[in-house]
Amino acid sequence: MDSLYLSPPEMDNGNVTEIANVDREPVFRTIVTHSLNDTLQFNDIFNMSWGRFFIPCENWREPQHVLFQLAYGCFFISCLAPDHSVGIVIMHAALLLGGLLYSTWAWNMLCAPDIFSWTFGFVFLNFCQLMYDLYRIRPVRLDPEVEALFALLFRPLGINRMTFKKLVSQEYAEISTLYPGDFYALQNLTRIDRLSIILSGKAQVVSDGTILHTIDANEFLDSPEFESSRASIEDKFRVSIVATGTCRYISWQRSTLEYLFVKETTLANVFCVLVARDVINKVFAMNKKLAVQRGHLLDIRLPGIANCSYDLSRETSSNASSDLSPSLKLQQMNGGLPNCVFYPLTRTKNSDTGFH
């Protein structure tokens, strides 16, 4: 090996010659020495036996600075953060503090600019994420007038305050007042183009001078009409709705709700549940009021009760017409839905619970 350093060979057509220029010999010797050392170190990495990984260190270093210990303490705390919105804030706050301590240790104690740069980059990312999380969970204040509505109807179904505030904002909703005797809707005159909920006060549903039922606070004013007139906004109310006292209500136009539901699908599903539940409550409330001689009960507010999936022949219709209740005959005479079979809720006179 020494002879190689003293007289490095040069191959020329198979003949070994000495380098004539002796001034280049020290430079060449240095290059060859470094090259051989790098080659040996590179080979040692791949030829190292796995047993050497398990040999304990003979000379341990002193513990690192307290900044290093505090930084990893913060990293440890970030791993214990719970899995919810506040826990995410705690996690990013701990990572942010730990990154600041670690970058300070790398800059002042270790004097390693690369470690400082990488760590400070992670600090910046965690700072941005922390600001976003704090903005997302910020407390949303609602108008006291709609706070009870949110707590009673929407919060139990998983709607957050931010989404509800968007729903009741002036962009989509309108809050109005009805004074005693004011009509929200007039029978056969008012179009069905909106959906409303009473915030305070009471209203009554009247049909041909007969009070059908009462609508209390946090109930829909016109859920049956809204549900049964999806195909057209030209349909008219079949009942009148009048305020019995000072009544505050919030309303949404149908087109505005449909536009909002396209963007907020969860809110659309919740509204479907609320409207369906309110319709069922009103059906049972009205069926207790509407009784005819044969015990047939008819919901005059819900034309959707008519099942139009069957097209009866004239003979079947004429035979079945004799069995219809007087209320159903009257509805057919007044222009009821053609080619439709009505399935009214019927109740025996001697039973208050059994339907047949």
280 lies in some domain: yes
- Look at residue 77 in the predicted model and tell me its pLDDT: 92
8 A C-beta contact, residue 321 and residue 285? no
pLDDT-derived band at 212 (thresholds 50, 70, 90) equals confident
Scanning 106-194, the segments in alpha helix (DSSP H) are 113-136, 144-149, 161-167
Final residue in a domain of this structure, among 114, 136, 158: 136
Q: With a cut of 70, say whether residue 315 has pLDDT above it.
A: no
Residues 150 and 219 in one domain: yes
- Residue 34 region by backbone torsions, left for phi larger than 0, else alpha for psi between -120 and 50, else beta: alpha
* For residues 115-139, average pLDDT: 92
- Look at residue 301 in the predicted model and tell me its pLDDT: 53
105 SS3 class: helix
* For residues 28-36, average pLDDT: 48
pLDDT-derived band at 136 (thresholds 50, 70, 90) equals confident
- Look at residue 283 in the predicted model and tell me its pLDDT: 81
pLDDT-derived band at 233 (thresholds 50, 70, 90) equals low
Nearest by Cα to 205 from 298, 286, 291: 286
Q: Model's pTM, two decimal places? A: 0.55
- Distance between CA 257 and CA 172 in Å, rounded? 7
Give whole-number Cα distances, 26 to 18, 35, 299, in Å. 14, 14, 109
pLDDT-derived band at 298 (thresholds 50, 70, 90) equals low
56 lies in some domain: no
- Look at residue 287 in the predicted model and tell me its pLDDT: 67
Final residue in a domain of this structure, among 256, 287, 318: 287
100 lies in some domain: yes
Residues 176 and 279 in one domain: yes
Q: With a cut of 90, say whether residue 248 has pLDDT above it.
A: yes
Residues 105 and 168 in one domain: no
Residues 214 and 186 in one domain: yes
pLDDT-derived band at 37 (thresholds 50, 70, 90) equals low
Q: With a cut of 60, say whether residue 7 has pLDDT above it.
A: no
The 10s digit of each residue's pLDDT in 56-101 is 777 778 888 899 999 999 999 999 988 888 899 999 999 999 999 9
- Distance between CA 244 and CA 81 in Å, rounded? 54
pLDDT-derived band at 110 (thresholds 50, 70, 90) equals confident
Q: Of 35-44, 240-249, 301-310, where does mean pLDDT reach its minimum?
A: 301-310
Residue 208 sits in a domain whose CATH number is 2.60.120.10
* For residues 201-212, average pLDDT: 87
**Long-range CB contacts (within 8 A, 24+) of 326-333:** 326/292, 326/293, 326/294, 327/290, 327/292, 327/296, 327/298, 327/300, 328/296, 328/298, 331/298, 331/300
The 10s digit of each residue's pLDDT in 257-267 is 999 999 999 99
Residues 155 and 276 in one domain: yes
Residues 282 and 302 in one domain: no
61 lies in some domain: no
State the average pLDDT for the chain: 74
Residues 150 and 279 in one domain: yes
Number of structural domains (the chain) is 4
Q: With a cut of 50, say whether residue 117 has pLDDT above it.
A: yes
More confident residue, 209 or 34: 209
- Look at residue 246 in the predicted model and tell me its pLDDT: 92
Nearest by Cα to 283 from 235, 336, 338, 228: 228
* For residues 317-326, average pLDDT: 44
In which domain, by residue range, is 79 found? 66-136
pLDDT-derived band at 290 (thresholds 50, 70, 90) equals low
- Look at residue 49 in the predicted model and tell me its pLDDT: 52
Residues 96 and 168 in one domain: no
pLDDT-derived band at 209 (thresholds 50, 70, 90) equals confident
Residues 155 and 278 in one domain: yes
- Look at residue 138 in the predicted model and tell me its pLDDT: 84
8 A C-beta contact, residue 126 and residue 95? yes
Helix (H) or strand (E) holding 122: helix 113-136
Residues 216 and 185 in one domain: yes
Final residue in a domain of this structure, among 267, 287, 307: 287
- Look at residue 15 in the predicted model and tell me its pLDDT: 46
CA 87 distance to own-chain centroid: 19
18 lies in some domain: yes
Residues 210 and 278 in one domain: yes
Residues 211 and 332 in one domain: no
352 lies in some domain: no
- Look at residue 150 in the predicted model and tell me its pLDDT: 93
